[in-house]
């Protein structure tokens, strides 16, 4: 629901490209190339810091020294961005329901408290809560789609959004931006691996859950984004998305469903944003926990689980403090929450995850190639070990370049704005600075360098262990 109401409408409004279902198909194909190698590597690590652990095993521990903070900052940025979405939307809905004047801050603070609370309980407890809300959310989207399907615009079938020429025939910047924004809709599909150390039958559960989630969200995103054009009209869709923004889907369904369904949809949109907040917060907690266990970037206390629940509670308080500080700065500065939090935070976080996807794909390729040259035999096919990761790296690399070129459109700022260069430069600056620090650390403190990427097993680092081809 967060994607359909927040991301899809932004794609239509900002890019004016209507072939959004095709953009989802393209990005799903690229991520489909990425996932087999990623899941294969997940069997070889139980480190909650999945991205940088894989990069440490494949590319280099020195690169991984930068990848860890990049991943943490990416999910922090995504979380902060969602506070900018849930506040304005939920405050408007609650004000309409109650007749009271409910402010954005009065929504953000209870959401922040729930996110913190969820981080203090085991994933099994939080997982049941999140799973129940997600099932309700999927069911409601299916219901809305069922009501929209019999009502094409003025009784005339609308097929424009399904025409690939509308994707290929758009402006280069618009097409590139559409595809790159579509990537943001899939951020989170990789997070099952982050939670695997707390999952029963983890190999089977992670594989099944990731594949199922990927197929389901691709189908729902593509179908519902097409039905928006089906009902709004191919020639009116962009204008309506620009005017109605995140309310577009509900406004399209309103004439055909009762007010109770719309109220339920509004409620589940709010809970879907809350689910995303909780998920990204739990990911931040586990990355911080893993990095602290290795002795990098965080105090040792962050790497100690709570005695009662066995979860990274200190890490939860840390990320909650960052979230509260961001909300406080926004409030004092009186910024527009959708612009400064949602657009800036969400775009930056999604872009940094895209960079990490590319690095992980290359790491998978390098890891298996090095093992093959050493005479090691693996159960995975050459397709999984080499072909798919290399293709994924190339295509993701192209998407990263396109994102940088069109970052002003994605961010919604003028082409001359310094932000359009400063923000996308952050992950590359970190890679350069911290990667160089990693090379220095390898020479000056090799034992500590070997802890990088081991997470909870960092204390078992061996002096003779030298994994990392580009160390």
What pLDDT score was predicted for residue 469?
45
What pLDDT score was predicted for residue 370?
92
pLDDT in tens, 62-88: 999 999 999 999 999 999 999 999 999
Closest CA to 59 of 358, 451, 372: 358
What pLDDT score was predicted for residue 173?
63
Give me the average pLDDT of each 10-residue run along the chain (471 residues): 86 86 93 92 75 91 94 95 92 92 94 91 68 84 93 92 76 74 88 67 70 89 94 93 89 91 89 90 90 90 79 91 94 89 91 96 94 87 93 95 89 88 96 95 91 73 47 50
What φ, ψ does residue 380 adopt, rounded to 5°? -70, 150
The per-residue DSSP string of 306-345 comes to -TTT-S-HHHHHHHHHHHHHHHHHHHHHT--IIIIIIIHH
Closest CA to 234 of 10, 12, 9, 18: 18
What pLDDT score was predicted for residue 137?
86
Q: Where are the domains of the chain?
A: 2-454
Q: What is the CATH number of domain 2-454?
A: 1.20.1740.10
197: which residues sit within 8 A by CB, 6+ positions away? 46, 47, 48, 456
What pLDDT score was predicted for residue 169?
56
């Amino acid at each position: 629901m967060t994607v359909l109401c927040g991301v899809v409408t932004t794609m239509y409004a900002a890019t004016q490209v209507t072939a959004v279902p095709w953009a989802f198909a393209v990005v799903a194909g690229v991520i489909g190339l990425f996932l087999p190698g990623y899941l294969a590597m997940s069997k070889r690590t139980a480190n909650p810091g999945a991205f940088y652990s894989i990069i440490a095993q494949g590319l280099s521990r020195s690169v991984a020294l930068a990848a860890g903070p990049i991943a943490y900052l990416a999910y922090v940025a995504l979380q902060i961005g969602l506070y900018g979405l849930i506040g304005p939307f939920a405050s408007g809905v609650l004000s309409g329901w109650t007749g009271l004047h409910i402010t954005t801050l009065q929504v953000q603070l209870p959401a922040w408290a729930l996110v913190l609370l969820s981080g203090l309980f085991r994933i099994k407890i939080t997982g049941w809560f999140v799973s129940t809300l997600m099932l309700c959310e999927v069911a409601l989207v299916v219901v809305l789609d069922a009501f929209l399907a019999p009502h094409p615009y003025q009784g005339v079938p609308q097929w424009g959004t399904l025409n690939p020429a509308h994707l290929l025939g758009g402006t280069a910047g618009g097409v590139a931006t559409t595809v790159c924004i579509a990537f943001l809709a899939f951020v989170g599909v990789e997070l099952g691996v982050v939670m695997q150390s707390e999952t029963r039958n983890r190999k089977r559960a992670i594989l099944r859950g990731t594949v199922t989630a990927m197929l389901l969200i691709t189908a729902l995103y593509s179908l519902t984004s097409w039905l928006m054009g089906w009902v709004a009209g191919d020639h009116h869709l962009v204008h309506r998305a620009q005017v109605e923004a995140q309310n577009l889907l509900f406004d399209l369904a309103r004439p055909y469903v009762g007010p109770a369904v719309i109220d339920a949809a509004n409620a589940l949109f709010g809970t879907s944003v809350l689910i995303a907040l909780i998920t990204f917060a739990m990911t931040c907690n586990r990355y911080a926990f893993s990095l602290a266990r290795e002795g990098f970037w965080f105090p040792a206390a962050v790497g100690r689980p709570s005695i009662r629940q066995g979860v990274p509670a200190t890490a939860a308080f840390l990320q909650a403090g960052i979230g509260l500080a961001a909300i406080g700065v926004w409030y004092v500065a009186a910024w527009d929450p959708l612009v400064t939090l949602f657009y800036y935070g969400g775009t930056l976080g999604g872009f940094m995850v895209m960079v990490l996807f590319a690095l992980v794909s290359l790491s998978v390729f390098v890891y298996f190639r090095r093992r093959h040259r050493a005479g090691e035999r693996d159960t995975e096919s050459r397709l999984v070990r080499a072909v798919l990761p290399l293709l994924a790296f190339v295509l993701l690399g192209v998407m990263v370049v396109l994102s940088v070129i069109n970052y002003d459109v994605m961010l919604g700022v003028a082409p001359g704005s310094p932000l359009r260069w400063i923000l996308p430069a952050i992950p590359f600056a970190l890679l350069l600075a911290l990667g160089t620090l990693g090379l220095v650390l390898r020479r000056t403190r090799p034992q500590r360098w070997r802890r990088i990427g081991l997470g909870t097993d960092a204390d078992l680092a061996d002096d003779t262990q030298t994994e990392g081809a580009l160390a």
